[in-house]
Amino acid sequence: MKNLAQYIDHTLLAANATVSDIKQLCAEAAEHHFASVCVNTGYVPLASESLKNSDVKVCCVVGFPLGACLTEAKAFEAAEAIRRGADEVDMVINIGMLKSGDLEFVRKDIEAVFAACGNATLKVILENCLLTDEEITQVCEICRTLKVGFVKTSTGFSTMGATEHHVALMRKVVGDEIGVKASGGVRDRETAEKMIKAGANRIGASASIAIASGENVTSSGY
């Protein structure tokens, strides 16, 4: 296994995150050589400036956390974030439209954001805790066909985060063609390693330093 830090998107998406908090997030990411920092789009310019001399990418979330906004709004948010310095975009699917059985809408929603991303990496957030295995499979098949960068388990803001079962299912459907990101509730090294063993090749976490160092954390968080 490669250095565990290189799997991690060091994440801070709290509504009350301050400028100081984001600067600290970026400093920690640069020090530990995490794959990226993951922030809300309003903090992309700050993160991009803070990390300009590092090997850490800037990741942002789009249509977050509900995924129910207009497709055009998601696509615009993604394009503008990339213009301001984002390297990767994590978008939330329209969960309600999926639950309504409108797979064509879901596909077009993802496709529009994917097109807006250009050369930037797109990760598609499914929010698995609200979906059946069949629905997870359906979205993963869409993402595999479109050849997006990653499928992602969770926002970390719903009823449950990543599970080994869901990660393994997603990996089974997408094969080796695209990535799988486990996020939400991954707060220690043991859990992160289980997710990687199940098929994840990226981890979204706020307890990134504890995960990388093998420390135990008791606080809740992304």
Tens-place pLDDT, residues 169-183 = 999 999 999 999 999
Residue 193 lies in a domain: yes
Answer yes or no: is pLDDT of 48 > 70.
yes
Q: Is residue 152 among the annotated active site residues?
A: yes
Residue 45 lies in a domain: no
Residue 75 lies in a domain: yes
Mean pLDDT in the chain? Answer: 96
Structure tokens at 119: 């050369």
**Active-site entry in 57, 74, 123, 181:** 181
Whole-prediction pTM: 0.95
Predicted local confidence at residue 95, as pLDDT? 98
Structure tokens at 81: 């974030």
Predicted local confidence at residue 171, as pLDDT? 98
What CATH number corresponds to the domain at position 62? 3.20.20.70
How many independent structural domains does the chain possess? 1
Distance, CA of 121 to CA of 123 (rounded, Å): 7
Residue 7 lies in a domain: no
Structure tokens at 143: 């993402």
Give the domain range for residue 97. 58-213
**Active-site entry in 9, 90, 109, 123:** 90
Tens-place pLDDT, residues 83-139 = 999 999 999 999 999 999 999 999 999 999 999 999 999 999 999 999 999 999 999
Q: Is residue 52 among the annotated active site residues?
A: no
Residue 47 lies in a domain: no
**Active-site entry in 152, 176, 194, 197:** 152
Instruction: Give me the residue label for tokens 């929603």.
Output: 109
Give phi and psi for 198, each to the nearest 5.
Answer: -75, -15
Residue 29 lies in a domain: no
Predicted local confidence at residue 214, as pLDDT? 82
Q: What are residue 150's DSSP bridge partners? A: 123, 179
Residue 205 lies in a domain: yes
Residue 68 lies in a domain: yes
Q: Is residue 57 among the annotated active site residues?
A: no
Q: What are residue 121's DSSP bridge partners? A: 88
